[in-house]
Homo-oligomer: A and B are copies of this chain.
Amino acid sequence: MNSPVQRMTRQRMVILEHLRQMHSHPTADELYDAVRQELPSVSLGTIYRNLDVLTRSGQVHKLEMCGVQARFDAELSPHHHVRCRDCGRVDDVPMTAESTVTLPVESKSGFQIDDYRVEFEGHCPECAAQHRETTSVG
């Protein structure tokens, strides 16, 4: 019923440290590449397992963005995210009064609603520049 004791292994520590200093909302395999620089024999399964453990214990946020590979974030203060429509990169968007939503009491068939998430879409500077090149806009 209760979860097992969480041990701090070298792998877990290195994974968490790298994620904390990355700020790029890496995917599991991007983090894998980074961690391998320091721990060459680490396994991709270990990355996934630890991201899951750290997500469950609240030390990491799993960004479950639409229909694509999951990304992870060690920045725990509340904020929104934008995803680039072209390359999938994710960036932070500060929360403001204008991006705050009032929860409806319930949905059409009586779902009880207790949270929400705003996902912005757009283009990162690089893809926006490319788009301007290839598109003829007066």
Chain A interface (Cβ within 8 Å of chain B)? Answer: 62, 64-68, 70, 82, 84, 91-94, 96, 98-99, 101-104, 107-125, 128
Contacts and interface: CB of A to CB of B under 8 A. Distances in A.
A36 to B, nearest CB: 25
B93 A99 contact: no
Contact of A102 (B62, B98, B104): B98
A114 B123 contact: yes
Counted per complex, copies of this chain come to 2
The residue among A64, A65, A82, A102 with the most chain B CB atoms within 10 A of its own CB is A82
B114 A66 contact: no
A125 to B, nearest CB: 5
Given A66-B65, A66-B66, A111 B107 contact: no
Contacts of A98: 101-102, 104
Contacts of A124: 109-111
A119 B102 CA distance: 12
Contacts of A101: 98-99, 101, 118
Contacts of A96: 104
Contacts of A116: 118-121
A94 B107 CA distance: 8
